[in-house]
Structure 1
């Protein structure tokens, strides 16, 4: 079967003369490319057949991997105007049929912003925005041209590195920049190059020269402008421009002709090339629609796996975060102005990780030619470029090799560690819109000062983002653009989802537009294309020095002393009330601890021989190192090493002082080997615990399980029904799983992909799953301190045909009611518990002096994670006692054993007879307390949000 070559010619323009054919009007553009996925007979057979399909038309065939090929037409190019996109897709359909492939997709220059007003002056892409997106230049900024650096505290970060004798300003770090290429602008003339490349195919492969072509949708000078805010060394006599990492090396790669309408395959190739050539940071000031089976996403994954930090602009003017920024593996950067507010053109939403200046940032301009100039520019293109320099400063300050080792010790990639620390140290101005603009505004100085564990305490399971099926990825994107489920089958989404997404982006820019769609897609949509978006949400750091770290170690030691003394006192016959709150002070001696561990080993269990051997090894490590640590803790003045503190933490979990009980049918086994000091109280509160446990569920993606979930939720209103959890739980779900959603005035409408299971107990075979259909964000929504880290989730239908737990026979209460009694959050009734779903510590986390204490704790838990557990403990720290809570006074501390996965657990009293709930657990740190939001904070958060908090 041959392909209609005339159809191919109608879909493309000639790049050079081919006999009788005239050369196309310059610029010719890159070669036309098609992505081929899973051809029958394999890649080699497909390559053989492709050479026969096009007659005299030259073709090249490149192999991406075992399942994907790229078909290249070196003599033809797709025009930016996409006048004949349907013809290009028809050619793809013919190739697909000829090869029996799963998918053949043209790599068209899909337009994120196809309407470019003729009247807009200048050549910079940052000036060429639709009405309502850009703002006027701000004259007052001419007196503060480095305002963006000061907003990010970049110069303070440089001084910090210099004062400590460390590499500063990104020295020794390579920043790669796939973009339009660069020019000979003076602001880049002294920058050290780490190579320059072209993957677009319109110039020499070893050069990144921007031809400065003008015309529809082109962005001459874009790469020069964005590169300058990252690496410029300030050649301007007035000192108006300097990059965030002026001593970093620059690797420009010409991978696109237009930031607004670009092909994907050259960018994917650029990411792979940058990784191969030794880039340490990759910054992408671009965005749009992604191909199904995205090669760019695969390239980003490969880069991240090799410890390259990869980031991209959230996007401009279309509201929703675009690709590649919206890929979970990529750091997405939103845009702000000089007043720490949102730049009006910044795309926003849950995909944004963090924000940086984007409105009237000083950058290099290629106009007037040939010398160029410096002026104000706008776009998240600049926000991500600024962050890339900050990342280079961080890598230089600590040393990249050391940071990789520290990340691996925590079970993370370098990308994950950088993202976590950048978010944890971000500056959050008053009224910050964390639901749409990320954790805050980048703070370079705080980032460089941050201890490497900062941010680990936000306790959603540390699972890497799942790879969505290509059709699901497209469905999520189109659902958010459309404001409803498109109700298209997977095949239709794979073949035509990119065209649909492009049309919806066009309608966001111009509601009167009439984008052309393939006839088969128009018929499948069952009506005219129209966007039904919900209205956007109303826009509304802890710095640890070495002394801070020592103080945190001292607090950790004090907390462990209290827990161990509590266990000893109760074992000796004291009541748990008298032992709580610091009433007990004597620590167990070595013989007592050793006897408790012997009792633990003597307990019969159902482990396999290998599991038993691992368990015994873990207990002996606790005995060997933990007893020494506890003996040192007996002397308040003694300096206890981190390894000894880690061992003592394990003792607290092993000896019953702060256990974590498995629940079966809501009940604690009174013979549990870890019952220790708490057994009698668990029996006394047996009915209360069972009733409350039934109202607690595991939040997870559709058909989730103990290794695939994101947190805990509690039924607080059966009438909605409404479930309470943490804001960061829903944020993690959005990043990790294929959730179909779109924004509403008060949060998100979720049309599929998320559920809660109210059973989720160990060894349970039954489930009681309910769909989650809406998320309501509180006032001051955000992750961690300074925010109200909470969310109300409205349930939809039962997925198992069962009633809510509250409606089942034998339940005395139908909801978790939060008590406003002040004594509960001031420590007057100190005994409490939380119910949640702790997750397995990631492998190699918690390694101290060669011992993986995370593995040890995993053995003590019997390998049973992600299932319902109850953890008792004590009130530990009062309101406002944490430095980040000093002003808001939203949180109190407790010392129950939680771990990741317990996010969204409710804290309830074990002192009061009715066991009322009084806190929402949201954070925990190994060297600090766990923390929970008070009832008063929750009431304040949901006031006026259209849903009553009980």
Structure 2
């Protein structure tokens, strides 16, 4: 992937022309009636219509959830103007859009319904909670029970009642998250890792749903990626941590967990993927050149009340070549709407009626143009070194988990 902020970035410009139906798509299509990039553009309509609808949707959210906040409304109107400028630049093809113009296109895509972000309420996916202009609901509703089981394994990491990030169960008392999330709840030192007091994993935190559900104390960080995680993002580092949590006090929830997909070490472009998680402060993990006023607008409008639980479908962009090492690439790109956080969310491939598995671990996202989020492909990370001087596969096996 190539990128030059504010310069001649033709790969990103072409991606946006394709996304808005201004050139033929080259991305592969895939099964389950999900659309290709060109079909997304066709379903969503002409660029001018998409900009208009997205602006109306953003204004509705500001009016209904933020009391008509004048500054947010002004930012929405500004995003519309800048998006129109960006579309004119893409048509003219004399230069690539600027960072601000790319950022405004991000806002449009986040709210034009092609990549919806559905709320989770009472453990179920609320398919009416997000504006949707493409066939996601038709594709996903028959899988409602399957998706709810996936979402049930995902919880919010909290200090007190302040959301820090996301984690998901891989056994009844083990949860996987990012190392950068673990660094916020634990002290890493030469003698080991010590979890702070008052740290919990809560499987509720739903908007107009369950406030707290099956809350458990986080007792340990059992191991993590070997190297400190700090901005800017370095894809060669393993941003992963295994947490020890209390068993559920409810027999109904005592055995739930997500299985790994050990045979999936490479995620092909075009596969249908999904993730569940909670908004977090993405700004401390995104390189500063990708942060702009429209990024902040997206984060504000998608965050919801108190960082609530969301299900987001999307499409895989294939493996990220920048993470190639002795064993090959180990991160995949995807475009599900996780651009407001979700650090530590599981990434699943939706294929058939089988229970969803944890194929990847979401750890960050890229702004300003060619939207891409990144997830470690867990099977591809099996030989990566973790604290304790062993590889990930060995460390998991020591806790009776097979990768």
Flag whether TM exceeds 0.5 (same fold).
yes
Q: Does the 8 Å CA contact 2:207/2:304 hold for their aligned counterparts?
A: no
1:870 aligns with 311
Displacement after TM superposition at 1:690 (Å): 1.1
Task: Using the TM superposition, give the Cα deviation of residue 860 of structure 1 relative to its aligned residue in structure 2, in angstroms.
Answer: 3.3
CA contact (8 A) 2:79 2:104 kept: yes
- C-alpha separation between the residues in 2 aligned to 1:894 and 1:862? 20
For residues 609 and 797 of structure 1, do their structure 2 counterparts lie closer, same or farther at Cα, with a shift above 3 Å needed?
Answer: closer
Task: Mark the runs of 5 or more structure 2 residues left unpaired by the alignment.
Answer: 384-390
Change (3 A) 1:560 1:868: farther
Matches within 5 A, 1:502-581: 549=5, 553-565=9-21, 577=33, 579-580=35-36
Q: 1:839 aligns with which of 263, 266, 280?
A: 280
Q: Secondary structure at the match of 2:64?
A: coil
**What residue number does 1:904 align with?**
344
Say which structure, 1 or 2, has more relative contact order (CA 8 Å, 6+ apart): 2
Check whether the contact 1:778–1:791 (CA below 8 A) recurs between aligned residues: yes
Could you tell me how far 1:685 is from its partner in structure 2? 2.5
Instruction: Give the deviation of 1:711 after TM superposition.
Output: 1.3
- Contact 1:563/1:657 (<8 A) preserved: no
Q: State the Cα distance separating 1:816 from its structure 2 match.
A: 0.8
Preserved contact between residue 695 and residue 805 of structure 1 (Cα < 8 Å): no
**What is the CA-CA distance between 1:713 and the residue it aligns to?**
0.5
Q: 1:584 to 1:634 in 2, by over 3 A?
A: farther
Distance 1:692 1:853, change over 3 A: same
Q: Is the radius of gyration larger for structure 1 or structure 2? A: 1
- Deviation track 1:242-300 (CA, whole Å, cap 9, x = no partner) reads xxxxxxxxxxxxxxxxxxxxxxxxxxxxxxxxxxxxxxxxxxxxxxxxxxxxxxxxxxx
CA distance in structure 2 between the aligned counterparts of 1:931 and 1:604, rounded to whole angstroms: 27
1: CA distance between counterparts of 2:77 and 2:348? Answer: 34
**C-alpha distance in 2, partners of 1:868/1:552?**
38
Tell me the distance in 1 between the aligned counterparts of 2:365 and 2:302. Answer: 18
**Secondary structure of 2:186's partner?**
helix
Choose from 819, 823, 826 the match for 2:261: 819
Q: Which residue of 2 aligns with 1:239?
A: none
Matched, 1:626 2:66: no
> In structure 2, do the counterparts of structure 1 residues 669 and 559 end up closer, same or farther at CA, with 3 Å as the change threshold?
farther
| CA deviation vs aligned residue, 1:126-169 (integer Å, no higher than 9, x gap) | xxxxxxxxxxxxxxxxxxxxxxxxxxxxxxxxxxxxxxxxxxxx
Match of 2:353 among 909, 913, 919: 913
Of 163, 180, 183 in structure 2, the residue corresponding to residue 728 of structure 1 is 180
Matches within 5 A, 1:451-850: 549=5, 553-565=9-21, 577=33, 579-580=35-36, 588-597=45-54, 600=57, 607=64, 610-611=67-68, 616-634=73-91, 638-677=95-134, 678-701=136-159, 703-704=160-161, 708-718=162-172, 721-734=173-186, 748=193, 750=195, 752-763=197-208, 764-778=210-224, 780=226, 782-783=228-229, 784-796=234-246, 801-803=249-251, 805=253, 807=255, 814-822=256-264, 825-827=267-269, 830-839=271-280
Distance 1:822 1:768, change over 3 A: closer
Equivalent position to 2:377, from 934, 940, 946: 934
Tell me, yes or no, if the aligned pair for 2:169 and 2:257 is still in contact at 8 Å: yes
Shift of 1:641: 1.8
The TM-score, its normalising length taken from structure 2, stands at: 0.77
Higher strand share: 2
Rounded to whole Å, the distance in 2 between the matches of 1:620 and 1:822 is: 43
Q: CA deviation at 1:909?
A: 1.4
Aligned Cα RMSD in Å?
4.0
Match of 2:388 in 1: none
Match of 1:413 in 2: none
- Preserved contact between residue 581 and residue 875 of structure 1 (Cα < 8 Å): no
**Conserved? CA contact 1:877–1:893, under 8 Å:** yes
User: Does the 8 Å CA contact 1:717/1:723 hold for their aligned counterparts?
Assistant: yes
May I ask how many residue pairs the two structures share in their alignment?
374
Query: d(CA) in 2 for partners of 1:773 and 1:802?
Result: 18
Query: Take 2:41 and 2:147, find their aligned partners in 1: how far apart are those partners?
Result: 29
Q: Structure 2 CA distance, aligned partners of 1:833 and 1:918?
A: 10
CA displacement, residues 510-543 of structure 1 (integer Å, 9 cap, x when unaligned): xxxxxxxxxxxxxxxxxxxxxxxxxxxxxxxxxx
Cα distance in structure 2, aligned partners of 1:868 and 1:665: 10
CA-CA distance at 1:633 after TM superposition: 3.1
CA distance in 1, matches of 2:214, 2:204: 6
What is the CA–CA distance in structure 1 between the aligned matches of 2:287 and 2:381, rounded to whole Å?
A: 33
Partners of 2:207 and 2:337 in 1: how far apart? Answer: 18
Q: Which digits, 9 at most, give the CA deviation of each residue in 1:733-757, with x for residues without a partner?
A: 236xxxxx9877xx53547432211
Q: What does 1:399-410 align with in structure 2 at a 5 Å threshold?
A: none
